[in-house]
Amino acid sequence: ATLGVEVRPLIFYTNHGAIKFNVWDTAGQEKFGGLRDGYYIQGQCAIIMFDVTSRVTYKNVPNWHRDLTRVCENIPIVLCGNKVDIKDRKVKPKAITFHRKKNLQYYDISAKSN
C-alpha cells in the first residue's frame, strides 16, 4: 500500500526519443485531496486508476476527473480499472460507464501481472 505520495519516474523509449513520465501516486487517499491540485499543475496527461475490487474507488472517479480537468483543462486522460487478476471483482464491466460520458479510453489492467 502507498502511504502519502509516491513519485515514480517511468521512462518510455519511443521513435521520437525518450519520454519521462512522472507517476504521482496518492493512492486515492482523500486526506491528500487538498494537496492533489498541486501535483496536477503542469500535468500534460493523466491516468485515473480505480480498484475493480472496491466500488468506492470507482465512485471517486468523477471527483478525480473534475479536479484534474479544473487544473489541467484539456490534457489526454485514460481511465484504468486495476486488479482485474483478482477473482472477487466488485465493479463489473457493464457498470463502468464514466469514460463514455467524458470520451476517455478505458482499460482493464493488472499492475500485479503487467
* Distances, alpha carbon 27 to alpha carbons 72, 74, 101, in Å: 20, 23, 24
Ranges of beta strands (E only) in 1-114 are 6-14, 17-25, 46-51, 77-82, 105-108
Q: Which residue has the higher pLDDT, 90 or 7?
A: 90
Q: Report residue 69: phi and psi, to 5°.
A: -75, -25
Question: Residue 3 is which amino acid?
Answer: L
Percent of the chain residues topping a pLDDT of 70: 87
Give bridge partners of residue 94 from the DSSP assignment.
none
**Confidence (pTM):** 0.81
Please report the domains of the chain, with CATH numbers, ordered by start residue: 6-108 (3.40.50.300)
- Model pLDDT for residues 11-67, shown as the tens digit of each residue: 999 999 998 888 877 666 655 566 667 778 888 899 999 999 999 999 999 998 998
Centre a 10 Å sphere on the Cβ of residue 73 and count the other Cβ atoms it contains.
Answer: 8
